[in-house]
Homo-oligomer: A and B are copies of this chain.
Amino acid sequence: MNQIITIGREFGSGGRELGRRLSEALGIAYYDQEIVSEIAKRTELSEQYVREVEEHHSIFSYPIHIGQTFSIQPNIMLEQHAKIYAEQSRIIEEMASKSDCVIVGRCADVVLADFKPFRIFVYADLPSKMARCREKVPGERHLSDRELRQKILSVDKSRAKYYAFLTGRNWGDKLNFDLCVNTTQLVIKEIVPVLAKLFA
């Protein structure tokens, strides 16, 4: 069976960077933008819309704030979201069947349970997540501390709701993961070569 590594992560903890670097260290596939493109192709929705739904899971957090969708009726939106999530699950299953890979987010730890993935959760304390956001995302530099804190908490709350809704589990509960990595004091670039040895 293919070696599948799933990465759950708190917003700003560097989980995506850890996933990407781990896939590079192992020389295996890393799926992220490809999933968005493939969903867009299959659902005939725009990539931007798919990305916004994936990022904000906004159906779970009324009122809706995803740009052009204000004019869409809630029932149509619900249908579109359901389509996106269904395609997303199908696509990550196809990808996991194809080859070894790293998949970040998307409840992949549960969706791909049959593949017996190695499940990593990446987290950090709030000050370090705020610092990482300011450093990595240029658009977030102008936010006040309070706004940034609010944004981080709100993204994670939305991820937690989405995860609970789709899986019936508590998001971030360490029992659902094989390894939980706190990036508050660890340097991702340094820890990845070590983690990679788990799969050697």
Interface presence of A166 (CB below 8 A):
no
Instruction: For chain A, give the interface size range.
Output: 20 to 34
- A18 vs B134: C-alpha distance when bound (angstroms): 37
A1 at the interface (CB under 8 A from B): no
Among residues 169 to 200 in chain A, which have CB atoms less than 8 Å away from a CB atom of chain B? 172, 174-175, 177-182, 184-186, 191, 193-195, 197-198
Is A11 an interface residue when CB atoms closer than 8 A count as contact?
no
Interface centre among A172, A184, A194 (most CB of B within 10 A): A194
A174→B121 CA distance, assembly (Å): 10
Asked if B182 contacts A191 (CB within 8 A), the reply is: no
Cβ distance A112 to chain B, nearest Cβ, rounded Å: 15
